[in-house]
């Protein structure tokens, strides 16, 4: 059974010094892919899909807590644990799919940074992509984790302030928003967007990342020390991801209050930015651009950390940002994203597709996570309890069911059967 932490430690000064890993993960689910799916949800369906953000955030807190506890129990990342505990065919399936998911994620992150540079400074997308690529690879390759951590916390705070500011400008229907945040409703027309939103929040690479970044904290084999660390992790994750819920919900609410109210179907982030100014004002457009740029840069940094750690973990190589292999992996895995930007594909469609791909990969991350954290041989006394295993299984079934419905809808539409 997992240790039961003492809530009193969350009021200690040492807890405040601990804060960080949860924020590293959180900035990854307010990335540009979230912007695309949230804008689509709000502009097309109003407040209807806000419940997806609530459900996905609760699922995320559950899975992220399990991932971090796996790192605490084993002293290794999820990728390393999968490589050691599963047969080669399964390792190939789990590892190959998550690497592809990381590449899809990187496309969204670098594209978001490029769009931010374009909206704020008028830079062409290819140049913004180059700047985003150089900044993220350069920062991660330095290996200065705690500096990156503090930078991400600042980014997340600014993004939150920008969107809270926009909420006060657009004057949404708070009653409808509050009801939709907790009452599920979905239709054949909205299922693809709903699943894309789910994949944009419960991102598989972020589940892998948390088991790795937790290793930056020190602890001993003493059960009391591990219990204290788990208490810190739970508090850190809950605070950070509640902030992520607030920002994602604000994105949908702003889109509903501005675009859906005026019957504007948003088909690009650039269109959303340009439309904000005449409808709400120049300040709203400026806040939108600042938040997008920081979201793109922050999430691209964390996605680079995730994909390099996944690659090195599955290949059994040292997860050391200062190693040559790690740095080469950073650069190589970022190239597809840059090539997509240079090729000039529709940025909005690319962002939406990347999030759907992430959601389809999710079951292949959730399954090994549940199996490993429920195995006493792996986890020892920190093994998942019956309630956690049950909640994890239910969440996994929900993910698979939504993906089955999504695939059915996509194939039906492709066959000419309509949405």
Based on DSSP, count helices (H) and strands (E) in the chain, helices before strands: 18, 0
Average pLDDT, the chain: 84
Least confident of 3-12, 105-114, 403-412: 3-12
The CA distance from 323 to 210, in Å, is 21
Res. 372: pLDDT tops 80: yes
The CA distance from 24 to 146, in Å, is 10
Residue with tokens 């009452």: 183
> Among 415, 401, 362, which Cα is nearest to 191's?
401
- Give the number of other Cβ atoms within 10 Å of residue 142's Cβ: 12
CB 233 within 8 A of CB 73: no
CB 247 within 8 A of CB 101: no
- What are the residue ranges spanned by the domains of the chain? 7-414
CB 286 within 8 A of CB 106: no
Tell me: the pLDDT tens digits for 46-55? 999 999 999 9
Q: What are the distances in angstroms from CA 314 to CA 13, 69, 81, 322, 372? A: 37, 19, 9, 18, 15
Res. 179: pLDDT tops 80: yes
Res. 415: pLDDT tops 70: no
CB 39 within 8 A of CB 191: no
DSSP string, 336-349: HHHHHHHHT--HHH
Q: What are the distances in angstroms from CA 225 to CA 14, 218, 387? A: 13, 10, 24
DSSP string, 352-418: HHHHHHHHHHHHHHHHHHHHHHT-HHHHGGG---HHHHHHHHHHHHHHHHHHHHHHHHHHHHHTT--
152 three-state secondary structure: helix
**Mean of pLDDT values over 219-226:** 81
DSSP E strand stretches across 31-137: none
How many Å from the N-terminal Cα to the C-terminal Cα in the chain?
46
Least confident of 39-43, 45-49, 352-356, 393-397: 352-356
Least confident of 151-160, 177-186, 195-204: 195-204
Indicate the pLDDT class of residue 355, thresholds 50, 70 and 90.
Answer: low
Res. 58: pLDDT tops 90: yes
Res. 216: pLDDT tops 90: no
Can you read off the two tokens belonging to residue 247? 């920002």
Res. 38: pLDDT tops 80: yes
- Give the number of other Cβ atoms within 10 Å of residue 176's Cβ: 16
Q: Hey, what CATH topology would domain 7-414 get?
A: Amino acid/polyamine transporter I (1.20.1740)
CB 17 within 8 A of CB 216: no
- Alpha carbons within 13 angstroms on the beta-carbon side of residue 73 total 25
The CA distance from 173 to 34, in Å, is 22
pLDDT at position 172: 92
Tell me: the pLDDT tens digits for 305-353? 888 889 888 988 877 777 788 878 877 887 887 787 777 777 667 766 7
- Alpha carbons within 13 angstroms on the beta-carbon side of residue 230 total 24
**Mean of pLDDT values over 358-374:** 89
**Mean of pLDDT values over 376-401:** 90
Res. 9: pLDDT tops 60: no
pLDDT at position 373: 96
293 three-state secondary structure: helix
Residue with tokens 């292999």: 325
DSSP 8-state class, residue 11: G
Can you read off the two tokens belonging to residue 97? 């799919």
The CA distance from 61 to 86, in Å, is 25
What is the share, in percent, of the chain residues with pLDDT greater than 90? Answer: 28
Interior angle at CA 225, CA 223 and CA 231, nearest 5 = 100
CB 215 within 8 A of CB 46: no
Res. 138: pLDDT tops 70: yes
pLDDT at position 340: 77
pLDDT at position 187: 81
The CA distance from 39 to 77, in Å, is 34
The CA distance from 47 to 41, in Å, is 8
pLDDT at position 1: 42
pLDDT at position 281: 75
């Amino acid at each position: 059974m997992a240790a039961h932490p003492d809530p009193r430690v969350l009021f200690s000064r040492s807890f405040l010094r601990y804060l960080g890993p949860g924020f590293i993960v959180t900035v990854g689910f307010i990335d540009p892919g979230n912007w695309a799916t949230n804008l689509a949800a709000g502009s097309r369906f109003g407040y209807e899909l806000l419940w997806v953000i609530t459900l996905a955030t609760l699922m995320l807190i559950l899975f992220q807590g399990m991932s971090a506890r796996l790192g605490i129990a084993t002293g290794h990342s999820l990728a390393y644990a999968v490589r050691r505990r599963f047969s080669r065919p399964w390792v190939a399936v789990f590892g190959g799919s998550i690497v592809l998911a990381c590449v899809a994620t990187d496309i969204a992150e670098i594209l978001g940074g490029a769009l931010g540079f374009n909206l704020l400074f008028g830079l062409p997308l290819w140049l913004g992509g180059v700047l985003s690529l150089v900044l993220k690879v350069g920062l991660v390759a330095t290996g200065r984790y705690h500096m990156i951590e503090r930078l991400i916390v600042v980014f997340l705070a600014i993004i939150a302030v920008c969107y809270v500011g926009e909420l006060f400008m657009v004057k949404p229907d708070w009653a409808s928003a509050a009801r939709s945040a907790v009452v599920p409703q979905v239709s054949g027309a909205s299922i693809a967007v709903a699943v894309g939103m789910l994949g944009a929040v419960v991102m598989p690479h972020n589940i892998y990342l948390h088991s790795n970044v937790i290793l930056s904290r020190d602890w001993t084999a003493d059960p009391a020390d591990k219990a204290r660390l788990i208490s810190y992790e739970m508090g850190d994750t809950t605070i950070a991801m509640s902030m992520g819920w607030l920002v994602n919900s604000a994105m949908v609410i702003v889109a509903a209050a501005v675009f859906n109210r005026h019957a504007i179907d948003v088909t690009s982030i650039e269109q959303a930015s340009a439309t904000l100014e005449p409808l709400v004002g120049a300040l709203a457009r400026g806040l939108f651009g600042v938040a997008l740029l920081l979201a793109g840069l922050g999430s691209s940094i964390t996605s680079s950390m995730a994909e390099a750690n996944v690659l090195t973990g599955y290949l059994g190589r040292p997860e050391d940002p200062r190693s040559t292999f790690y740095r080469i992996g950073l650069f190589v895995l970022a190239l597809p994203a840059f090539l997509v930007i240079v090729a000039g594909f529709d940025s909005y469609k690319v962002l939406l597709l990347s999030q759907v791909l992430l959601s389809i990969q999710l079951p292949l991350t959730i399954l090994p996570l549940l199996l490993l954290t429920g195995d006493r041989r792996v986890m020892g006394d920190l093994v998942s309890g019956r309630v956690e295993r049950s909640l994890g299984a239910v969440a996994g079934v929900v993910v698979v069911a939504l993906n089955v419905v999504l695939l059915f809808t996509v194939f039906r539409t492709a066959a000419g059967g309509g949405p």
